[in-house]
Amino acid sequence: MIAEKQLPEGFSIRNYEAADYAAVEKFWNDNGLGGAHRGDNAAVVEQTLKAGGHLLLLVSNEGKLAGTSWMTNDKRRTYLHHFGIAEPFRRLGLATCLLNASLEIARTDGFQIKIEVHRDNLPAQLLYKKAGFTFLGDYDVLIIRNIHE
């Protein structure tokens, strides 16, 4: 179990287990965070975990998945992906708790940490800036999702 200093009663943060994948994939799809269309699948998650990554799950005492934070790294920088809180659980301070748990892990790993956030997602930008993230510069993010096409 992850440190839960500020976590509201009724919630916990724990590490992902392989049996969680179906619920995690549904959460990501329901909340616009990822899914198979972005190359996310159980094998990729397991591969990143074996390479030193982490996937934190924020769950209610009733077993509902309230949030995720997936961290991968290239041994230079930690990348924070698929960070989000489900709509019914927003505005309870849970995002700050999950982000703090993620940053605690990143500090232990010892790498820089980077997150990409949509320019229209002002609540997320405020959360990340409050936690100490700063604008990287005048970079645009480019991607080829399917290298075989």
Q: For all residues of the chain together, what is the average pLDDT?
A: 90
Dist. CA 27–CA 86, nearest whole Å: 8
Torsion of CA 8, 127, 100, 141, to 10 degrees: 140
For the whole model, what pTM was predicted?
Answer: 0.88
* Average pLDDT for 106-129: 90
pLDDT band at 4 (very low <50, low <70, confident <90, very high): low
The answer to whether 68 touches 24, Cβ cutoff 8 Å, is: yes
How much is the pLDDT for 106? 93
DSSP-derived secondary structure letter, 76: S
Dist. CA 53–CA 46, nearest whole Å: 9
Side by side, the strands of the sheet bearing 112-115 are 11-15, 54-60, 65-73, 77-85, 112-115
pLDDT band at 74 (very low <50, low <70, confident <90, very high): very high
Q: Where is average pLDDT lowest: 6-10, 53-57, 96-100?
A: 6-10
How much is the pLDDT for 17? 97
DSSP-derived secondary structure letter, 113: E
Dist. CA 11–CA 1, nearest whole Å: 11
| Domains of the chain, first to last | 11-130 (3.40.630.30)
Dist. CA 106–CA 13, nearest whole Å: 15
Structure confidence by residue, pLDDT tens digits, 32-46: 998 888 889 999 999
Say yes or no to pLDDT of 147 above 80.
no
For the chain, percent of residues with pLDDT exceeding 70: 97
* Average pLDDT for 119-141: 86
* Average pLDDT for 83-96: 94
How much is the pLDDT for 143? 77
pLDDT band at 141 (very low <50, low <70, confident <90, very high): confident
